[in-house]
Amino acid sequence: MSEVEVFHEKQRLELCAIHALNNVLQERVFTKETADEICKRLAPQCVVNPHRSVLGTGNYDVNVIMAALQSRGLAAVWWDKRRSVQSLCLDKVQGFILNVPSRVSLGIVSLPLRRRHWLAVRQVNGHYYNLDSKLKGPVCIGGETELRSFLSEQLSQDVAEMLLVVQREVEDDGTWLVAEDSRK
Residue 8 annotated as catalytic? no
pLDDT at 1 (0 to 100): 43
3-state secondary structure of 19: helix
Per-residue pLDDT of the chain (184 residues; tens, 9 = 90+): 444 489 998 877 777 888 999 999 999 998 888 888 876 786 667 666 655 665 566 677 788 889 999 999 999 999 998 899 999 999 999 999 998 877 665 556 655 555 678 899 999 999 999 999 988 999 999 999 999 999 999 998 878 899 999 999 999 999 999 876 444 4
CA–CA distance, 27 with 9 (Å, rounded to integer): 9
Q: Quick check: 122 and 8 in contact, CB under 8 A?
A: no
From 8, 51, 61, 132, active-site residue: 132
For residue 16, which of 115, 140, 149, 141 has the smallest C-alpha distance? 115
pLDDT at 151 (0 to 100): 96
From 8, 19, 51, 117, active-site residue: 117
Q: Distance between alpha carbon 135 and the CA centroid of its chain, in Å? A: 14
pLDDT at 104 (0 to 100): 61
* Other CB atoms within 10 A of residue 60 CB: 27
Residue 132 annotated as catalytic? yes
From 8, 16, 19, 39, active-site residue: 16
Residue 117 annotated as catalytic? yes
For residues 110, 131, 121 and 14, what is the CA-based torsion angle, rounded to 10 degrees? 50
pLDDT at 130 (0 to 100): 97
SS3 assignment for 49-91: CCCCCCCCCECCCHHHHHHHHHCCCEEEEECCCCCCHHHECHH
Q: Collect all residues with Cβ–Cβ distance below 8 Å to 165 and sequence separation of at least 6.
A: 24, 69, 74, 75, 76, 93, 94, 95, 96, 97
